[in-house]
Structure 1
Amino acid sequence: MRKILMAGVAAIALGASLAASNAADLKFKPGEDARFNWKSYEEFAAAHKMDGQELSIFGPWRGDDQALVESVLAYFTEATGIKVNYASSENYEQQIVIDVEGGSPPNIAVLPQPGLIGDLASKGFLTPLGDETRDWLNENYAAGSSWVGLGTYKGKDGAPALYAFPYKIDVKSLVWYVPENFADAGYEVPQSMEDLKALTEKIVADGGTPWCIGLGSGGATGWPATDW
């Protein structure tokens, strides 16, 4: 089975088949609701007639969020005829590893942890997205090369390749500090990664502990560290 990871899955999976989707099921009927411009939808539908094919997606959304995601996927099914099977799990970080190691990966996995993506890529579980996707990101994303870099990881052979398509970005991995403490200790705010490493070593030499991060998250304990 082809394995694709998009940028950022099933002990008990919550499955949902969207195969029976039709225009009557959609909140806004394509081509009929004048509040929307349906040109891009109609062009996409005309170019992607794939009745009979299936697509499996494993993502983090459950409950109300899952219902919203499925309402969007219903338009994809309506346009293409592709049966979409969406699944999720409360412990999806662990489950995606179980699935890929067991030989039953989804076609697309939506993951928010770059560290997990890199680990899966290094073990050969992911399929590169190719030059066409890389070119599209470079041409359509502001600072496209930066996004390509964030989605690029080393594969099992050690060669870097684009494995992740970033589509939703959250601000994370911020370093918080107390300005008064820095002033009292005579530390300057680092302006580069090299400065940050040097400050880390200086704080240790001064007998301090430079870093503190909360990693507890139930069955997903440790995942905050993968954002780094």
Structure 2
Amino acid sequence: MKKMLLLGAAFAALTLGLPAHAELKFKPGEDSKFHWANYDDLKKVDLKGETLTIFGPWRGEDETLVRSVLDYFQEATGAEVKYSSSENYEQQIVIDTQAGSPPNIAVLPQPGLIQDLASKGVLTPLGDDVAAWIKENYAAGDSWAKLGTYNGKDGKAGFYAFPYKIDVKGLVWYSPDNFDEAGYKVPKTQEELADLEKKIVADGGKPWCIGLGSGGATGWPATDWVEDIMLRTQPPEVYDKWTKNEIPFTDPAVVNAIDIFGKIATDDKMVDGGAKAVAATDFRDSPKGLFTV
């Protein structure tokens, strides 16, 4: 089987094989909510005796959901599917590729890491036909195809990453009831947001709940903060230049965004639990402060 990487989301390594005949969540051909033609086509692919290894970030309920999808692939093709995950996924995938034992499919949220692996020649391109399918079937197909295209070891561009499980980020959540009670208005600009932060602190509250904890990948949510602040303090053209390495991290525009986040994350008055809780709080637990503060 081909070795390939997928774009996805982000965990001690855990490997589990799916049962030979898992109980399918929805019975093929009978549940009218789905179009079963693709499943029927997949049944024509005989992979009995083959093993498909998948390395991904999902645990808990997310793992349950993705396994419910993989059940159909296994049932239709007869292949054995082995799914594994690691808290230190970025380091683990590098170790596995260097050792010559990568999974058939890896789910990674880091385009930069995929580019690095592609440039070392450890990935197999998915092919132009797959890129064309993305362009035709995704609403922003061209953008996703470009995001999955990287230069291989020979310097030639190839399509390596199929987007799957795309998550919306960059949203600021708040409690409307708490805002109404305190008389706060939802800010529409970065300046209005800064003013609201000061008011909440003056009223004895904590404006933000922040968690950067993520095992070996601790800190990655901070990059999202800086990216969002860049988009709100600079023209889109400047952000685009930054993503293309046309301006360095020492550029005043980037330094300003990092400084804005730094002043929030290191101020005990600004963060639920204080500055020490920022890195110690798992990013999945950080929203709990919305319901307890």
1:211 alignment counterpart: 257
Q: Tell me if the contact between 2:234 and 2:253 (Cα under 8 Å) persists in the aligned partners.
A: no
The CA distance in 1 between the partners of 2:13 and 2:97, in whole Å, is 14
Q: Is 1:26 the equivalent of 2:24?
A: yes
- Matched ranges for 1:132-151 at <5 A: 132-151=129-148
Query: Which residue, out of 170, 178, 192, partners 2:236?
Result: 192
**1:21 is paired with a residue of what secondary structure?**
coil
| Greater relative contact order structure (CA < 8 Å, 6+ sep) | 1
The CA distance in 1 between the partners of 2:160 and 2:279, in whole Å, is 27
Q: How big is the shift at 1:45? A: 3.4
The CA distance in 1 between the partners of 2:88 and 2:44, in whole Å, is 37
The letter of the residue matching 1:116 is L
1:5 alignment counterpart: 5
Q: Percent identity?
A: 54
Q: Tell me if the contact between 2:28 and 2:36 (Cα under 8 Å) persists in the aligned partners.
A: no
Q: Tell me if the contact between 1:30 and 1:38 (Cα under 8 Å) persists in the aligned partners.
A: no
- Specify whether residues 91 and 203 from structure 1 end up closer, same or farther in structure 2 by C-alpha distance, changes over 3 A only: closer
Query: Which residue, out of 187, 190, 205, partners 1:178?
Result: 190
**1:74 is paired with a residue of what secondary structure?**
helix
Identify unmatched segments of 5+ residues in structure 1. 182-187, 219-228
The CA distance in 1 between the partners of 2:155 and 2:104, in whole Å, is 23
Q: Tell me if the contact between 1:41 and 1:79 (Cα under 8 Å) persists in the aligned partners.
A: no
The CA distance in 2 between the partners of 1:202 and 1:95, in whole Å, is 34
Q: How big is the shift at 1:38? A: 5.4
Q: Tell me if the contact between 1:3 and 1:108 (Cα under 8 Å) persists in the aligned partners.
A: yes
2:101 alignment counterpart: 104
**2:161 is paired with a residue of what secondary structure?**
coil
Q: Tell me if the contact between 2:118 and 2:150 (Cα under 8 Å) persists in the aligned partners.
A: yes
The CA distance in 2 between the partners of 1:117 and 1:81, in whole Å, is 30
Q: CA RMSD in A?
A: 3.5
1:131 alignment counterpart: 128
Q: What do residues 35-92 of structure 1 show as CA deviations (whole Å, max 9, x unaligned)? A: 4445325422343222221111000011232222212211111111111111111111
Q: Tell me if the contact between 2:149 and 2:157 (Cα under 8 Å) persists in the aligned partners.
A: yes
Identify unmatched segments of 5+ residues in structure 2. 172-187, 195-231, 266-277, 281-293
Q: Tell me if the contact between 2:190 and 2:233 (Cα under 8 Å) persists in the aligned partners.
A: no
Query: Which residue, out of 87, 92, 95, partners 2:84?
Result: 87
- TM-score w.r.t. the length of structure 1 is 0.74
- TM-score w.r.t. the length of structure 2 is 0.59
Q: Tell me if the contact between 2:233 and 2:257 (Cα under 8 Å) persists in the aligned partners.
A: no
